[in-house]
Amino acid sequence: MSTQEIAGTEIAGTTALVTGAGRGFGRGVATALCQAGARVVGVARSSGELAEVQAQLGDGFTPVTADATDPVVAGRLIDRYRPQVLVLNAGASPLSRPIHRHTWESFSRPWEVDVKQAFHWTREALLAPLDPGSVVIALSSGAAVFGSPISGGYAGAKATVRFVSAYAGEESERGALGIRFVSVLPKLTPATGLGETAVAAYAARAGVDVPTFLDRVGPTLTPEQVGKAVVELVSDPGHDRPAYLLGVEGLSALS
């Protein structure tokens, strides 16, 4: 895939919109963007968690209680806020079971949440279109590369999120829209609700306790590191690739 023509967006003074901003990576991303001078609109379904984020970040953070998979929400918020930075971070926590213990409904949940969100918001970003120089960052997962055998359809859904982002990048280039689309593939970490559940399940599957499992894995990501990586992706012109793996060592471009 080609290098994108536009890279490096000044964050201070822009409007950023972050889905899943109530906790975990999304809270880390909202905090980092606020600290870099953006006005941040944060979307999640739990108003209590969004209120906590607002108490922490102040007036620079606008909470919106809504379902990020709803196409009307995507259209309405893009029209209203016209973000220069859009971070599609909300995601379903998959049921941790081996494949034959999934039903179709549990298997496909990440498709109904993560892929549906990526599809609707990416489409709205292209149709608006967002202003030239805008950037849309989609949270995929290292699972999209490595697999995740006890997460049902999660790894495939996250691979599709990466494809949706890359396809949109091609359409942006073809239409000379100047919107950058980037997917980020973080490695597994117990530092969030979703990750803690997954780590506990993988430890149990390996027949070890969580500390032993984490010793084997080595250092893991924090929401602060994810926030810092998103700020780098938005503002550093050197980060012009369509997809990046993210670990404690930082961002590495994927071909």
Ligand X SMILES: NC(=O)c1ccc[n+]([C@@H]2O[C@H](COP(=O)([O-])OP(=O)(O)OC[C@H]3O[C@@H](n4cnc5c(N)ncnc54)[C@H](OP(=O)(O)O)[C@@H]3O)[C@@H](O)[C@H]2O)c1
Phi, psi (deg, nearest 5) at residue 22: -75, -30
How many whole angstroms from its chain centre is CA 12? 21
153 binds ligand X (CB under 6 A): no
195 binds ligand X (CB under 6 A): yes
242 binds ligand X (CB under 6 A): no
**# binding residues, ligand X (CB under 6 A):** 32
150 binds ligand X (CB under 6 A): no
Instruction: State whether residue 20 is helix, strand or coil.
Output: coil
DSSP 136-179: EEEE--THHHH--TTBTTHHHHHHHHHHHHHHHHHHHHHTT---
Among 11, 18, 68, 78, binds ligand X (CB under 6 A): 68
20 binds ligand X (CB under 6 A): yes
**Does residue 136 contact residue 88 with C-beta atoms inside 8 Å?**
yes
Nearer to ligand X, 22 or 242 (CB): 22
91 binds ligand X (CB under 6 A): yes
Mark the segment that binds ligand X (CB under 6 A) among 43-51, 124-132, 174-182, 247-255: 43-51
C-alpha 125/C-alpha 45 separation (Å) is: 21
**Does residue 27 contact residue 46 with C-beta atoms inside 8 Å?**
no
96 binds ligand X (CB under 6 A): no
- 245 forms beta bridges with 185, 252
89 binds ligand X (CB under 6 A): yes
Mark the segment that binds ligand X (CB under 6 A) among 54-62, 185-193, 207-215, 228-236: 185-193
Mark the segment that binds ligand X (CB under 6 A) among 20-28, 77-85, 96-104, 209-217: 20-28
